[in-house]
Amino acid sequence: MSKNKYNKPPIQQPRKTGFSQIPFQNIVKEGITQIEINDTLQIINDGAQNDFPKYLSEIIDKSPTAAAAVKRLSQFITGSGLHEDIKDIVINTAGDTMEDLHNAVAMDYTYFDRFSIQLNPNRGGKVIESLHIPAEWVRYATNKDRYDPVYHYAKVNPYLNTSEEYWGSKQVKTLRLFENVKEISRESRESEDYQGHILFHNDTRPGARVYSRPLFFSAERTIVTDGRIWAFHDRNTANNFFLGFVMSILADPDAGYGEQNSEGTYYKTFREVFEGQMNDMFAGVEQAGTGMVFYKSNENDPDPSITPFPAGQSDEMFTRLLADTVNTIASTFGIPKVLLPQEISGKLGASNEIRNAILFVNETTETKRNTLEKAYKKILNAMGISYPDENLIIPIQDYTDLPDVIFNSLSQAQKDEYLERNFNILPSGENEAEMEEETEESRGIITELRNPNGRSNN
């Protein structure tokens, strides 16, 4: 036989009947939370493949609900910005201000429950600039004593999470973990291989004592499921809702088929060749759908019996599943559903719910804002910059700026306009035309109710 000869499906084979389908795949990544010592790179791996931050950001970005929750949570952790006395202070040669640093650090803190800031001193040991270091670039360096539970150095690799990590590059730095200013001054003068200090913060908890694991990661499966739901809808719209098919063919799935070697042995079975072609043509988001193939070795074999899902029942299942994912993600992120774009209330009474939700999230994110403030004070102290003796981060304003008795006296359109101006949130389902007509009037009322200092009259 010639080497590349193709034959018709051989059917004079022993009778074999069966079916196959695309195998079920685990929706989450195994070993993603493992912590291991990597002696080769001299780091502590974050995940079995050292890719926990990359994996976490990827599943969030693929889930519209989780991405919206992260964005909303970040707004509350960032607050309304930094105190006016420090926000415009330039902290490095790139021209970044404290406000720039805060915005970048707060986003990292929201995603990963960790953040990092590099401190660079001059030759005299005085810190002259501070830089935001993306949290996903940082890994603890192993200690000379591998059983030492306290880490002293961290490695910063700007190539992490790329196709090639280049751990041998000169861009990979080993930085001393920042503890106090005196230490920076001493090491910068005495250590020959000194490359700088880094303030690397992790929110640790039981089960996550080395690298942080955000509590919302407990909804990992739900976040992945939410992303798959929307990918499924994307596939449906791309292929005109052609979801799949059932096919019966007369063939022996285990018989050789297709290309042969010089000895006449087939490289693949008929099943492998046929299903490979079917997968290429029909499987995947870009193709028509998934297929299930039933093999019959004799045309007299009975066809399999299949009971398909009724269309209405399938739609109901997806609607219920989507609602469950929104509820679970909102709960684990600590974001009331009314603050997520997927939640459509359409009720005139939703304003009170929004105001209470804002108060709730402001309160639950206060600890993170306090942690950031402590870090910023350390940075400013190290750079010899004074700061005010009050909150450095201005929280998102809540409705106490307008007392209840006054707020309740406003019309619905005025209430909504106030909420939109102060919180960038507008209840859906409201009459936008009516709100626009009363905008100028409501601004005048609210302005009159405030004293010159911007606080409400109580």
Q: Please list the pLDDT of the chain residue by residue as tens digits (458 residues).
A: 444 444 444 434 433 444 444 344 456 778 899 999 998 889 999 999 999 999 999 999 999 999 999 999 999 999 999 999 999 999 999 999 999 999 999 999 999 999 999 999 987 788 999 999 999 999 999 988 777 778 899 999 998 866 666 887 788 999 999 987 777 777 777 677 788 899 999 999 998 999 999 999 999 999 998 888 877 766 665 555 555 566 777 778 888 988 899 888 999 998 888 888 777 766 554 554 555 667 776 777 776 665 554 444 456 777 788 888 989 999 999 998 888 765 444 443 455 777 788 888 999 999 999 999 999 999 999 999 999 999 999 998 754 445 566 667 778 777 777 666 665 554 444 444 444 444 444 445 444 444 444 444 44
Number of neighbouring beta carbons within 10 Å of residue 410: 20
Domain range list for the chain: 35-217, 397-458
CA dist list (Å): 437 to 223, 402, 417, 425: 41, 21, 11, 18
Strand order in the sheet with 18-21: 18-21, 290-296, 244-250
Q: What is the CA radius of gyration of the chain?
A: 30
Give the number of C-alpha atoms closer than 13 A to the C-alpha of residue 433, restricted to the C-beta side. 0
Instruction: Say if residues 285 and 278 touch (Cβ distance below 8 Å).
Output: no
* pLDDT the model gives residue 307: 53
* pLDDT the model gives residue 338: 81
* pLDDT the model gives residue 164: 66
What are φ and ψ of residue 53, in 5° steps? Answer: -60, -40
* pLDDT the model gives residue 123: 78
* pLDDT the model gives residue 175: 93
* pLDDT the model gives residue 341: 64
